[in-house]
Chains A and B, each alone.
Chain A
């Protein structure tokens, strides 16, 4: 791996919100929009100097209460399931998990008898906000399909924060999502990691300090979209990535040299190359849409040639065919259990894909790429467990829960902050009506950073987006 070369130059004061201590939450009513704090900065862009985080998060946690969920079945995603256990949420963090917790006098106590507790679900692959509901052309902003390589575009600049799919994610236990550009392009642009919270600004949803992802796409999509101007073949796809990274390597060298001695005029900035240089420096996590084994093979070759890591293959319908290679290379796989068949590169889809990848020792992830599937990632996990059993592979729920939580957290570089129920982690927690591996179970309450943002039993507290007002009936039950 290449040495990390910090890019935060004169603008470093603008700051990486991640490194600031989380301020004590200002008292605010639950479910008001997270507000942005106005900041005046020199504006690094104006100086033509690169800035690793030009649009930092303005997310601030919602009002929290010290809360104890008691006598529940707790799936920590970090060890064996604890039955009849309690979990203490305090100051936005998980303070304790165990059998005999002392309940602080100021704590709200919620009885979890018969219920299950898991970490918030994390979806590595959504198009929330960039392909929002309603699916009309006017709001369709997910593919900058004007050039096969557009690392200069950032998904966060397409997001419609009033997409009614966000509250549906939250109501199904999804607390963190990566929003990616579409898959028309070889390199489609930067993804962004969001907390699933109401906010009038996109920056108010951004997960503070999360690394960016960069969307790449293999196979049929780019060659179909660019059939007339190229690439029109898979070999054209690979040549396209190589050409881009050759250029990026030169750019990175030029800039890193200048950053080391700062002599003379800085080199000219190029937004495409800036993003790719960050991939080469290891500062952006590569998220690569690939279906077939041979497409994944091609992507891995390009990554090896230029010395960067692929963090996750997405869709990977044939990941089970080279799961051992993914394990060797430390590449996670964001998968479905039963989407397939809709095109040739998806025709070898099998229901045990996730389980087979897991069994081979790679990091398996259940992802959605779909706002309906996103609400049932837990069901996909159960389907894969079931199918694996017919193959004689027995996977415990304690392992499988990680497909929904700890493993996607890793794919987003957030494994130290979310994805398990361990003291010190963010209090992103779901209380389920029953085991999340049953079709009949539903999320009942959802906390993000210790704030209860969804409560099925309290419809009055329901988050309704601007879009829904007057358009979507305010129905009882449901989400």
Chain B
């Protein structure tokens, strides 16, 4: 059995020169040849070529002329896909869950659970050790989402390239996040009360552009939310970004769809454990639905219908399915396995790949940059040793905007240090 190595270049190349090398790569032309290419936007191409120039894809196909100056990457026997998108993570927003100083996910206490003006990405830490762990495994693009609150705030999409937030940001705000389910802002509140409040906030936001001047003139009745938050909801009311509503019980999902219709806004459904029960309605509403594939446990009374075929049944019904696991940072890498399990439970393989690439890119409005292999898109892609969902497969080369981003992670350094016991703490790991 061959021993695969994740960092073929790393052993011999010092970090400094690597950084220089990758910097110059983006200005290069790269031809990835001979692989099984899954563009997602079209059918798979056996023995395909992906041509990359200046960080963008310039050609994808089976008969692509390769410029003489191109760096050739032989992908024979490998699979090439767009970088995997994990639509709902706390990556860079959480380092260690139980250490408060490393957790930046929510507004605490203010606004009585209604904080649409919270921009969760402001707390993003590009130095999080978990970013390297995640992109080493072929996850190149992640949604940063806030947690908690009836309307908790705005999320963004970033690509896991190098650099500060400004360098990696694809779009922010990319969606607004609300939670009406059993995990809602106030467990003491009845469902009806939660819906009442959400509707009141949205109605106020809808009227806000007309009411703003009266408020400024101090001639307004009390508002259902703070002006700054009503302002922040305007892109939702204008249909520019979706309101992603977290709920699990089928009846809650239907209310969420109803609210979307009432206000003429785009709704996405997250968690959505019982979505399969109302799959036709979700499909008819053209709502994006973000589900995991592992949950088959009736963990609470909102999830009695939990089943692993959820994604497959939604896809069959024609819904816009996104596979997203939990909102974890440490295991944001595992979303590709979640897609594999969805396949084991009936989802066609191509649909599962779309559900972790192009569909989430479409929901967030960044499909012109990531999620498929087409000319003009970012060269954010992965060369895999085989089927990306399989457990024995490695992400062998990971590119974000044409640059290779794999380097030893904190976990890799620990493993190297302790591979031989006792460890030598003087040696570089």
A residues with CB within 8 A of B: 133-136, 164-165, 168, 220, 320-324, 338-344, 347-352, 356, 360, 371-372, 375-376, 379, 382-383, 385-387, 389-394, 437-442, 467-468, 471-473, 475, 477-479
Q: How many A-B residue pairs have CB under 8 A?
A: 147
Nearest residue, chain A, Cβ from B308: A478
Contacts of B341 in A (CB 8 A): 376, 439
Contact indicator B4/A389 (Cβ below 8 Å): yes
Contact string against A for B residues 286-309, beta-carbon threshold 8 Å, 1 for contact and 0 otherwise: 000000001111111101110111
Contacts of B99 in A (CB 8 A): 343-344
Contact indicator B418/A320 (Cβ below 8 Å): yes
Residues 412-429 of B at the A interface (beta carbon under 8 Å)? 414-416, 418-419, 421-423
Complex Cα distance A437/B390, Å? 9
Contact indicator B421/A360 (Cβ below 8 Å): yes
Complex Cα distance A235/B3, Å? 43
Residues 328-375 of B at the A interface (beta carbon under 8 Å)? 329-331, 333-334, 337, 340-341, 343-346
Complex Cα distance A386/B329, Å? 21
Contacts of A347 in B (CB 8 A): 96
Contacts of A475 in B (CB 8 A): 305, 307, 309
B58 interfacial by beta-carbon distance below 8 Å: no
Contact indicator A440/B298 (Cβ below 8 Å): no
Shortest beta-carbon distance from A80 to chain B in Å: 15
Contact indicator A383/B298 (Cβ below 8 Å): no
Contact indicator A134/B301 (Cβ below 8 Å): yes
Complex Cα distance A329/B361, Å? 52
Residues 84-107 of B at the A interface (beta carbon under 8 Å)? 95-99
Contact indicator B419/A376 (Cβ below 8 Å): no
Contact indicator A477/B98 (Cβ below 8 Å): no
B391 interfacial by beta-carbon distance below 8 Å: yes
Nearest residue, chain A, Cβ from B336: A439
Contacts of A439 in B (CB 8 A): 337, 340-341, 343-344, 389-391
A-B contacts, 20 of them at CB < 8 A, read A133-B297, A165-B297, A220-B98, A324-B422, A341-B95, A341-B97, A341-B130, A349-B330, A372-B294, A385-B391, A387-B415, A389-B1, A389-B394, A393-B419, A437-B392, A439-B340, A439-B390, A467-B298, A475-B307, A479-B296
Complex Cα distance A356/B418, Å? 8
Nearest residue, chain B, Cβ from A387: B415
Q: Given A136-B300, A165-B297, A394 and B411 touching (CB < 8 A)?
A: no
B residues with CB within 8 A of A: 1, 3-6, 95-99, 130, 277, 294-301, 303-305, 307-309, 329-331, 333-334, 337, 340-341, 343-346, 389-394, 411, 414-416, 418-419, 421-423
Contact indicator A133/B298 (Cβ below 8 Å): yes
What would 9 more interface pairs be, CB under 8 Å, given A389-B3, A442-B344, A478-B307? Answer: A133-B299, A136-B301, A324-B421, A324-B422, A341-B96, A348-B414, A350-B415, A371-B297, A473-B304
Contacts of A479 in B (CB 8 A): 296
Contact indicator B98/A342 (Cβ below 8 Å): yes
Contact indicator A390/B4 (Cβ below 8 Å): yes
State which of B95, B345, B390 has its C-beta within 8 Å of the C-beta of A478.
B345
Complex Cα distance A321/B95, Å? 22
Complex Cα distance A382/B394, Å? 12
Contact indicator B305/A340 (Cβ below 8 Å): no
4 smallest CB-CB distances across A and B, nearest first, come from A341-B330, A382-B391, A439-B340, A343-B98
Contact indicator A386/B421 (Cβ below 8 Å): no
Contact indicator A343/B96 (Cβ below 8 Å): yes
Complex Cα distance A348/B416, Å? 13
Contact indicator B345/A477 (Cβ below 8 Å): yes
Complex Cα distance A343/B100, Å? 10
Contact indicator B309/A471 (Cβ below 8 Å): no
Complex Cα distance A344/B98, Å? 7
State which of A342, A390, A471 has its C-beta within 8 Å of the C-beta of B330.
A342
Contact indicator B304/A471 (Cβ below 8 Å): yes
Contact indicator B3/A376 (Cβ below 8 Å): no
Complex Cα distance A383/B336, Å? 12
Contacts of B296 in A (CB 8 A): 168, 372, 375, 478-479
Contacts of B329 in A (CB 8 A): 341
Shortest beta-carbon distance from B391 to chain A in Å: 4
Contacts of A441 in B (CB 8 A): 344
Shortest beta-carbon distance from A378 to chain B in Å: 9
Nearest residue, chain B, Cβ from A465: B298
Nearest residue, chain B, Cβ from A381: B391
Shortest beta-carbon distance from B81 to chain A in Å: 16
Shortest beta-carbon distance from B373 to chain A in Å: 23
